[in-house]
């Protein structure tokens, strides 16, 4: 596990969010990246380790149950990914762990899998952790817009919504790369 040493301010902010999980600038919790055969797992693990997190790529239910946090990545078609999750019973593990209140982050297709269903190439059941349906957006995108949008773009925040703490270090107009 890599160890990072944080400034006093950063350590205070992190400890306020999770006081029992950070001591002397070292993350003490384990993040499990769910391996069900879909996604860029090892790049994600390397990124987490680079910031000092203990991260493990695993499809082992026992490891997922012991982990403090879960990440469900994914790339590809919804139906195929859902079938792979179900093949090894990982769907039941993810659902049971999420229902205990364990933090679960879905990335890309992994986020879509958290919904009740998807209409991508038919109707397919998801994990049912988020009520709703993942629907194709091509029909509602104005002509001339490229989908998916990939490239640099300035961020613009809604004026009628409260500012998110996720963006506290980002200013209106800052450019980010969309993938």
pLDDT in tens, 104-114: 999 999 999 99
Average pLDDT over residues 27-50: 88
Measured in degrees and rounded to the nearest 5, phi and psi for residue 89 equal 75, 10
Position 38 confidence tier, pLDDT thresholds 50, 70, 90? confident
Q: Is the pLDDT higher at 17 or at 51?
A: 51
Q: Tokens at residue 30, please? A: 């384990």
Buried b (16+ CB within 10 A) or exposed e, 78-107: beebbebbeeeebbebbeebbeeebebebe
Position 8 confidence tier, pLDDT thresholds 50, 70, 90? low
In the numeric block, the tokens 């270090």 are attached to 169
pTM for the complete prediction? 0.71
Contact 44, 33 (CB under 8 A): yes
Per DSSP, the three-state class of 15 is helix
Contact 136, 151 (CB under 8 A): no
Position 81 confidence tier, pLDDT thresholds 50, 70, 90? very high
pLDDT digits (tens, 9 = 90+) for 103-143: 999 999 999 999 999 999 999 999 999 999 999 887 778 88
């Amino acid at each position: 596990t890599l160890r990072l040493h944080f400034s006093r301010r950063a350590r205070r902010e992190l400890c306020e969010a999770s006081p029992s999980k950070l001591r002397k600038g070292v993350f003490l919790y384990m993040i499990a990246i769910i391996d069900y055969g879909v996604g860029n797992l090892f790049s994600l693990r390397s990124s987490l380790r680079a910031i000092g997190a203990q991260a493990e790529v695993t499809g082992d239910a026992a490891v997922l149950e012991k982990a403090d946090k879960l990440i469900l990545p994914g790339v590809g078609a919804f139906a195929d990914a859902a079938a792979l999750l179900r093949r090894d019973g990982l769907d039941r593990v993810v659902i049971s762990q999420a229902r205990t209140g364990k933090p679960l982050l879905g990335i890309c297709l992994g986020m879509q899998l958290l919904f009740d269903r998807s209409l991508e190439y038919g109707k397919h059941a998801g994990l049912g952790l988020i009520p709703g349906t993942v629907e194709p957006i091509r029909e509602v995108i104005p002509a001339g817009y490229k989908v998916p949008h990939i490239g640099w773009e300035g961020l613009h925040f809604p004026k009628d919504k409260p500012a998110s703490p996720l963006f506290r270090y980002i200013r209106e107009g800052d450019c980010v790369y969309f993938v």
